[in-house]
Structures are given as structure tokens and as C-alpha cells.
Amino acid sequence: MYVRRENRRPFTTAFSTIAAWSAIVAVTFLVAGCGEPEPVSAPVEPEPVEETWLVEEEETEAIEITEVDSALITFLTGDAYLVSEETGERYADIGDGLYAGEELHVETGYAELQVGTIGTVRVRENSVVRLDDIVLQPGSTTVDLRVVSGSILNKVERLAGTDSYDVRTETAVMGVRGTEFGVVVDPQAGTRVAVRSGRVAVVPPAADPRRIRERAAESGEAADAVEAVARRVEESALVIGADEEIDVDESTAQAAEEVIRQVDTIIQEAATATAAGQTVDVAAITARLDVAAEESTRRITEDTSRTRRASSEETRQELQEIEEIRVVALPPRMPDRVEPEDPDAEAPEVVEEPPRPLLIPVRFNVEPAEAQIRLDGRNVGRGRFAGVFRPGEELEFQVGLEGYTAETLRVTVGSERGSTYRVSLSPRAVPERVPEPEPEPEPEPEPEPEPEPEPVSLQVNVEPAGAQVRFNDEVQGTGSVSGEFMPGDEVMVAAELQGYRPASERVVIGEDARTVRLELERITGSLTVEVTPADTRIIINGQAVGTGRHNATYPEGTELSVRLERDGFAPITVPVTIQEGANPVRYELSRDTGTLRVTTSPAGARILMDGGVRGSGSVDQVFPAGSDVRVRVEMEGYLPQERTVSVSTGTTPLRFELERQMAQLTVTTVPGDARIQIAGAAAVTGRAQRSVAVGDSVRVNVTRPGFAPLERTVSVPAGGQSLELRLEPRPIEVNIPVSSRPFVRGLAASATMAYGVDAGGTVYGINPAGRVAWTRETANTSNENGLPVAVGNNVVFSGAAEMLVINGATGAVINRRDLSGGESHLFGRRPIVWNNQLLFPSDDELIVYSGTGAATGRTISVPGGSKMTPVMAGGRLVIADQQGSVLIIDPDTGALVTTVSTRMSQPVALAGAAQGNRAFLAGRRGVAVAVDSSNGTVVWQTDLPGGRGPFVDPVVVGDVVLFVLQNETLALSTADGSERYRLRNTRTAPLVMNNQLYFGASGNVLRVANPATGGTVASLQLPATPSAAPVALGDRIAVGLENGRMLIVHPEGIR
């Protein structure tokens, strides 16, 4: 191995030392130093100070490439370990193989693993990988690599045949067909996959086709059906392309397990039957698997693709590191020898196997350990580096550290032996100075702090001078520019100019200023002029260039005027705009000429005559009379047209009207019933198609109640485009501040307004648009239980002081009545509507008012008195007295029909619930009763949990009646009073809407439940605690909160 060595310093005076090393290594170095001595009274010429540095070389064995299936460590910098069950933990070194079942731990730096000839993996710092499987056979290579933690970069050649290259993590499986990509595993965020080039198929582990195929062997006669499922999963896997990235977290992986479980269950049935020797119904298994696989793959692809996106700038910068990955040229593996089957057959001629190819190791160990090592201008680590190389390679190593002499070693890799270099850098020497003789020397100055690294200038000169220059994709200027960077920075210098091929160079900033020169290559085209007669003069831009035939090369875009002249013939002038490649001009002069006038619409269309560009929009071109000219007109986004015209004497007009090129835009939505509007056309539902002009920007709007509207502008390509738009749920359409106090008990609503009352007794009217239409203060200022009652388009509210009938649209008071004595109440007693009249409950009678609150003079006696609000059941009034007896009263006559004794006592304020003839009531001490108003009998009565009754009206839905207790709601059978289920942590009474229950729950939640089972269907997180029972406002829901805000919610958006 041959070595050349230099040390470089930014000094201006120099002396050199030449030393011979050994027969194996030759080192040439240059030591230079500079400095201007500080002024002294008696200057002394400093003597040269010899600097000491040391490079030791030790020969090492070459690495023989074996036939064993393993991934070869080809490059290593920093500390890494190989871990296996057999050998435990050991230091990793270049030339070591990572075998199936083993792990590679990289603590600092990085390691590169080369897998045969198909790919190389860079395992980065703080990363652990495990090789699950590897088979390296000609024509059939299998690699199965698992990223336990950290990150890797992959450079994989294009695979062929049955080759496979898979990368796995805890949450994702990646199938590769030849690409450059990175994988990052984060314990919290899951797996991130980013592709630089090529394509990577990504599925959660549960949908791994290999896992499904492994089940085929145990499925007996159904094996083909299981294999078909694996193929379907494989074909439907989400494919991530160049400059895309995706996150697959634990929740996505778990969701895939749930989705694929049905497929696993069917496969297990087939496996169980096969193991038991039973006949498998292959047709039935195949049909069930087909349906389950179709649904599973669709849902898995949808879930996985949610985080798919274009790669961020930070990700693209990280993937640039893949360019540094070096693939060592390894010879292909030889096929295994095949022994003859017949032992008595004549043995084949023994052919001596060729020697196994060698890789030569080169290792560097540097002191101090913080020293930076560069190989061929790129950073490869600090302190320690090792790599394998092919014999004869030329390498340049640079070793340096601030405050030490930088060393450069140029190495020619030997053919049979490797080398280990131990480099000890020496501090930069400082010549001694003779102190100025003084009677009393001044105090020695404090040592100056070690200077920070200074920026280094990078000068870039570009020809031609008008070219635009970029540093790392940022425009710096034109022609000649400069910038400052820190030593060790990598700068991508690029230059471009219209008509020239762009050029670029990657520059690694050293300690010295650097000048880079880029010369752009001009893009040219060849002009060939052929004219008959052969002695026709050819004149280009006024200059004669020959006769008959002329060839020349010009820069692309050059505009030429080619004139053809011959005595006795009509001259022709041909405008030519040079394009890259051939630009033919062929003419035969005629004694008679004509002008071909071509015009186009649109005016910017390009005009070509006989294959050559002649201009755009409108062109007059002279041709020999009788000439047939092929004219083509084209413009992006339009259908080209081509015609052949015979030119006559005079002017031959030719007009082209180009038609727009159209393409089909198809838009589908999720959810599938959203309204789609394309370019302002009438909206359609679920799926919309429209033919649009290619290249035009088309605005697509998608809306659906309960979801955030979506607007997308697309430019449709020539082949058409299918677009699936997913709407994000946004059920809360309105969130407005209404009061500074909580809403109380429950809301009410008319057809167009929602009404609520706060704890201060103020009534509010809110319209569906989310605006407070009006506010009405009342004398019922201490309100803990009172709630509004909607009566047609009016609203009634009563309390301790007064009852008001308010116009629901304007808030104007229609009637106001003072309440005192037995009419006054604190617990939410309120009127009910009967026969367009209001029945207002007092302590011992029901006072009848008109629908607008006017007195009628009629009352209905309530024997025994009551604190309740009555309920109508089967056309009769049902109300309980203070002792718990249920009174059934005829509202028309006011007569007491019957009295029903129950175990209830002291029912307060709340009204009962009714279903047909049955009324459902509850007392303060926790007894619930069902009474039949038609015959005056108790259907059932039961004790409620905790011995406490509700203070909120019960609700009947279907065959259950709901009693709202403290922190829970109890559902009882309407038939026999048996418990059906309980809703836990409830905060409000439920609203029955769309055959669902909507109610406030703990944790600031609006919960949706199935009224038959009590099971949670969906839930919505609210901004505050719901304090009043929700109410239906058309197809929306109004919700009053504890903080005095009101929400308008669309139930379709609750998920």
C-alpha cells in the first residue's frame, strides 16, 4: 500500500522536512508556519521550531469474501457492537458479517451493511437493527431486516425475479423493489418512512403478506384461497413514491389487527378443520375470504394513507445523506456445486476453484479522539474509521482538529494486505521570543481564549457571467458571487442560465478560502440549409455563407433570417428559431412565388412549416408557387392541428382555430353523501364528473352539514384525474357567548328558535345562525330549576316572582303575571299546553290561561294539593299529590276520575312522562311508578337506586323510560319496570332525536347512545361542561354550557 502525506497550514512562510518511512509506506509532507513577531526593543531572529507528529502503519490481513449468507460490514465509524445469543456482545469491525438472528447496535457514528450486490444500509447513531432472514443465491435473494430503534438509510438496487427486500418495525412492514429511502423508529410516534427515489409499499404488520402466506401451508385444501388473500393484500398495499413520507403509529397498527381479524378467523377455521382431518368447504371459505379481504384491504389502505404527505424540506435534506453511501463492488456469488446422484457414476473432472476475491481493509485511529476524519472530501467520523476497498483504489484522507496540525494522507489500496493507521496530531508550534530586557518586566498578560473558528470565504465564478448562482438552493446572484461558511460545511453550488445546461458542484469547506469555477455548456442546434438550384446563394442574417448547402451550429433560441437568392429566381426569406437537435431548411427556388399567411387562435400558438418553427400567432412565409407545405400548429392545453397546403401566387391564407384539449375530472368524497360543486356548476352528491380543459385551474368545493367545508384547486392533466376528498368532521357549527351564568335544567325550541334560561332568571332567544336574537330579564332572579316552555312561536317562563309569555321571534313580553303564595315556585314547576291553553300548576289547583297567558277565569281543583307539573296521558291529566297518590282528572270537566294509591311520596316539580295511556312518575324518596290512566291501576312500581328520586323529568323512548339520577341515568322497561341498563356519569337529561339519545356527560362530553341498549354510539368533546338538557333545533342540536355559552351542533358530524 502506497501513502502520500501532507500537512497543511494557513501560513505564508514555510520550511519542509522530508522523511522516508518504510518499504511499504511512503509519506511526503509539507510543514509551514507563519507569524509576525510582536514589537520588541531588541528583536531576535526566531529559530525554526520543529513540529512533531506521528503516523504509524500496521499491516492487516485482507478480507476474504465468503459464500456465507450474511450482511457484510463495509464501513464503520464510531462504536458499534454485534449481539447474538451464541456469542453475546462483541465489538463490530469491518469485514464482520451480520447473520440471521443477530443484532447490530450502533452507539456513535454509523455503520454500513452491504447485502450481496442488491443494497447497502447505513445504520445511524443510537440505532439497533436485527437481521431476521437472509438468503443470497443467484437469481433468488431474500433480505428481511428489522429496525428495533433509531434510524437507517437504504440504497437498494432494482430487484428482479423472486428477489425480496423487506424492512420491518413494530408498526410497519416495507416492501422494496429498488429505491432509496429512510426509516425512523420512535418509541412514541411509531415509524416514519420517507422515500428519496423509487417506490416503497407500506402495510401494518397484521397485513404483512408473508405472515398470511405462512398460514397457507396449514390451511389444506384452502391454501390457494389463502394465497389469493396474500396477493390481494400485496397488490392493495399503500405505495409511497419519491419525495413522499408517511407515519405509521401504534394506533394504526392496532386498527389493522382489528380489521384483519376476520380474515385470520376464517383461515383458522380452515386450519382447524384440516388438522382434524375434516373436509374443508373450499368454495365457502374462498367466498368468505374474498369478501373479508376486500373490506379489510380497503379499510387498512384508508387508515394507513391518512398521514401520507409530501416530504418536508428537513426530510429531503436528511435523505441527501444517501448520496454518501458507497456500494462496494462485490463479485456475484457462484452457484452451489451439485454432487452426482449416482455414487457409481464417473466423477466429473475436478476443476480447481478460483481464489476467493479479497477486500482490503483500511482503518484509522486518531489522537485526539475528537479529530475529524474526511475521506475524499466528505466527513466519515471522528477519532475512528474503518472501511473495505477494492485493490488499487486511490483514497485521500484528511485529519484535523482546531489547534492541531492538519494532516492529509493519500493512500493507494494494496492488492493483498490492508493497513491500520494510528495518527497522532501535534499542536501547532509557536516560536519562542526573547523577552524585552527591562528592569521590571510588565506582568504577563492573561492568556487569550482559544479563538472561535472563523468563517471561510467561498468565491464562485461562472461563465457566462449572466448565469444565476445558488448556494444550497438559495439564489445568491449572477456571474461572480461569494459567501462565508464555517469549516466542515458542505455547500451545493449550482448555476443555470436559459439556453445553457445547468452545472453544479458539491464543495466541502476547509480551513482556506476556496474558489470554484463553473462553465456552463451552451445548448446548441444544427442548422442544415439545402437549396436547389445548387448555386443558390445562402445568406444568414445578412452575411453570405455559401451556395447550395450550408451546415452550422448555433445556440438554442437563436433567431436567424435565412435568405436564398439566385438571379432569375424569386428570393425566399425563411425565419428560423434554433431548437436543440436538427433544424433543416430545404427549398427549391421557383421563378414564381407566393406568400403563405398562417394565423391562429389562440394567438400564441406555435407555427411549424415542414417541421421547422416559423413563429407564433401569425406568420407570412414566401414559397415557390405550387409548393406543398405541411403546416402544424400546436399549443399546450390545446389539440394540435396539421394541414398540407399548396401555395399559390399572391397570398394564400390559412387559418387555424385550435380546440381546447379536454379531460375528465372525477371527484368522490368521504363521507359519500357530501355535496360536490365543480367550477361553480350545480352541486351533486357523492360523486361528480366533469369534462374540463387540460391545464386549467378548476375549483372544487365539497360541503356536508357537520363537516368542515373543503375547497381544492386542481389542474387536470391530459389523461384526466380522479380525486378523492375527505372531509374532516366539524359538528360544532356555532359556539357563542350568551350569558355570564350557567344555563339551567334544559333548553326549549320552536321551529326557528332555541330558548334558554340562565341562573339569574334571564331568558335568551338564539336563532339557528348562532346569533342572540333577544334577551329578556325577569323578576325570577334566583333561578336554579326553572326552564322555558315553547308554546307555538312563543315561550313561557315562570319562577318565584312572575310568569311571562314572550314572543319567541322578537322577545317582546305578551303577558306578565305576578306570582305569589301557592303559585310561586322554586323547583321548576311550569305550565303545560292543552287544547291551545296553558294549564299552570299552583299548590292546590291548575289555573287555565289562554295560549298567550290571558286569564280565562277557570281553574281545575287538585285534591290534596301537589308540587308537581301534570302530564297528559290518554287524554287525561295525571298528577301526584304530596302523599304519593296519583290523581287522574278529566281536563274538559275538571272532575277527578279516580285516585290511585302508590308507594311514592312528595313528588316535586318534575312532570311525568307519558306513552299512550301510561304515565311514568317518581317521588323524592326514590320510588318510580307506572300508572294506566284508562283504568286507574298501577302497572308497576319499583325502588330507584340510592333511595333518592330525580329532579328532572323522565324520558320515554321505545320500550324504556329513563330516570335521571345523580351522576347516572337509569333505563327501566316500560312494561314491567325492570332495569335495562344504566348510563354512567350523566350530567343532563337526554334528548331523543334520530332514534338516538343525546346527553351531557362528565368530562365535557356530549354522548350519543343507543336507546335500546345504552351502548355509546359516538361522542363529542365540548369546550365546557353541559349544564342544560340539549334540544332539537331543526336538524341541529342546541347545547347550553355551564360557562353560559351555547353550541349549535350538527349530529351527522359526531363520530
d(CA 304, CA 299): 8
The position carrying cell 391564407 is 653
Q: Is there a contact between 991 and 1037 (Cβ–Cβ < 8 Å)?
A: yes
- The DSSP element (H or E) to which 431 belongs, if any, is none
Q: How far apart are CA 634 and CA 657, in angstroms?
A: 11
User: Could you give the C-alpha distances from 213 to 87, 351, 389, 512, in angstroms and in order?
Assistant: 33, 41, 40, 60
**713 grid coordinates:** 384547486
Kindly tell me if the per-residue pLDDT of 230 is higher than 60. yes
Contact 631, 609 (CB under 8 A): yes
E-assigned strand segments in 908-1003:
908-911, 913-915, 918-922, 927-932, 937-943, 955-957, 960-964, 968-973, 979-984, 991-993, 996-1001
Domains of the chain (ranges, CATH numbers): 61-324 (2.60.120.1440), 372-424 (no CATH), 460-509 (no CATH), 524-588 (2.60.40.10), 593-657 (2.60.40), 662-726 (2.60.40.1120), 731-746+748-786+788-813+988-1054 (2.40.10.480), 828-979 (2.40.128.630)
Q: Is the pLDDT of residue 316 over 70?
A: yes
pLDDT for the residue numbered 215 = 83
Bridge partners (DSSP) listed for residue 549: 530
Side-chain half-sphere exposure of 356, counting CA atoms within 13 A: 12
> Between the ranges 400-414, 417-431, 706-720, where is the mean pLDDT highest?
706-720
- Using alpha carbons only, how large is the chain's radius of gyration in Å? 45
Per residue, the 3-state secondary structure of 326-368, as one string, reads: CCCCCCCCCCCCCCCCCCCCCCCCCCCCCCCCEEEEEEEEEEC
Question: What does the pLDDT read at residue 473?
Answer: 84
What pLDDT was estimated at residue 884? 87
Rounded mean pLDDT of 239-264?
A: 87
Q: What percent of the chain has pLDDT over 90?
A: 45
Q: What would the mean pLDDT of 181-203 be, rounded to a whole number?
A: 88
CB 702 within 8 A of CB 718: no
Whether 836 and 893 have beta carbons less than 8 Å apart is answered as no
**147 pLDDT band (50/70/90 cuts)?**
very high
Residue 693: strand, helix, or coil: strand
Sign of CA dihedral 852, 856, 860, 862: positive
pLDDT at 39 over 80: no
Where does the pLDDT of residue 150 fall: very low under 50, low under 70, confident under 90, or very high at 90 and above? very high
Residue 495 host element (H or E): strand 490-496
pLDDT at 442 (0 to 100) = 61
Report the pLDDT value the prediction gives residue 1033, as an integer from 0 to 100.
Answer: 93
Q: Is the pLDDT of residue 1 over 60?
A: no
Q: How many CB atoms lie within 10 A of CB 811?
A: 17
Question: Taking 80 as the threshold, does the pLDDT of residue 450 lie above it?
Answer: no
Whether 30 shows a pLDDT value over 50: the answer reads no
What average pLDDT does the structure give for the chain? 85
Closest CA relative to residue 828, chosen from 966, 741, 951: 951
pLDDT in tens, 724-783: 999 999 999 999 999 999 999 999 999 899 999 999 999 999 998 889 999 999 999 988
* pLDDT of res. 356: 61
> What is the average pLDDT across 259-275?
86
Q: How far apart are CA 780 and CA 778, in angstroms?
A: 5
Give me the torsion for CA of 378, 381, 382, 383, rounded to 10°. -110
Query: In this structure, what C-alpha cell is assigned to residue 980?
Result: 335495562
pLDDT in tens, 958-969: 999 999 998 899
pLDDT digits (tens, 9 = 90+) for 877-935: 999 988 889 999 999 999 999 999 999 887 766 889 999 999 999 988 889 999 999 99
Under 8 Å between Cβ of 320 and 66: no
Beta-bridge partner residues of 1038 = 1031, 1048
All cell numbers assigned to 387: 472501511
The predicted pLDDT at position 426 comes to 85
Which of 27-31, 438-442, 749-753, 921-925 shows the lowest per-residue confidence on average (mean pLDDT)?
A: 27-31
335 or 162, greater pLDDT: 162
Identify the pLDDT of residue 38.
Answer: 41
Question: 548 or 450: whose pLDDT is higher?
Answer: 548
What cell does 768 get? 339557528
Q: What is the pLDDT of residues 818-850, one digit of tens each?
A: 998 889 988 888 999 999 999 999 999 999 999
pLDDT at 143 over 50: yes
- Which of the residue ranges 129-143, 507-521, 648-662 would you say has the lowest mean pLDDT? 129-143
pLDDT computed for residue 414 by the predictor? 84
pLDDT of amino acid 53? 57
Q: Distance (Å, rounded) from C-alpha 638 to C-alpha 134? A: 54
Peptide bond into 368 cis (omega under 30): yes
Q: To 10 degrees, what angle do helices 282-304 and 250-275 make?
A: 170
Q: Which residues pair with 745 in a beta bridge?
A: 1028
> So what's the pLDDT on residue 270?
86
Element (H, E) at 370: none
Per-residue pLDDT tens over the stretch 674-683: 999 998 888 8
Q: Comparing C-alpha atoms, which of 378, 569, 580, 384 is closest to residue 489?
A: 378
pLDDT at position 875, please? 95
- Residue 121's pLDDT is 94
Interstrand relation of 456-463 and 514-519 (parallel, antiparallel or unpaired)? parallel
Tell me the torsion sign for CA atoms 764, 768, 771, 773. negative
* Contact predicate 906/884, CB 8 Å: yes
Which of 233, 158, 254, 162 shows the shortest CA–CA distance to 199?
A: 158
Per-residue pLDDT at 22 exceeds 70: no
End-to-end CA distance of the chain: 71
pLDDT-derived band at 390 (thresholds 50, 70, 90) equals: confident
Which residue is associated with the grid cell 450550408? 550
Q: Evaluate whether 745 touches 758 at the Cβ level (below 8 Å).
A: no
8-17, 474-483, 506-515: least confidently modelled range? 8-17
How confident is the model at residue 431, as a pLDDT? 53
The pLDDT value given to residue 48: 47
Give CA–CA dist 494/468, Å, rounded: 8
Query: What pLDDT digit, counting tens, does each position of 71-123 carry?
Result: 899 999 989 999 998 889 999 999 899 999 999 999 999 999 998 888 899 99
Q: How far apart are CA 69 and CA 990, in angstroms?
A: 67
**Cα gap 989→1027, rounded to integer Å:** 10
Instruction: Give the ranges where 658-710 is alpha helix by DSSP (H).
Output: none
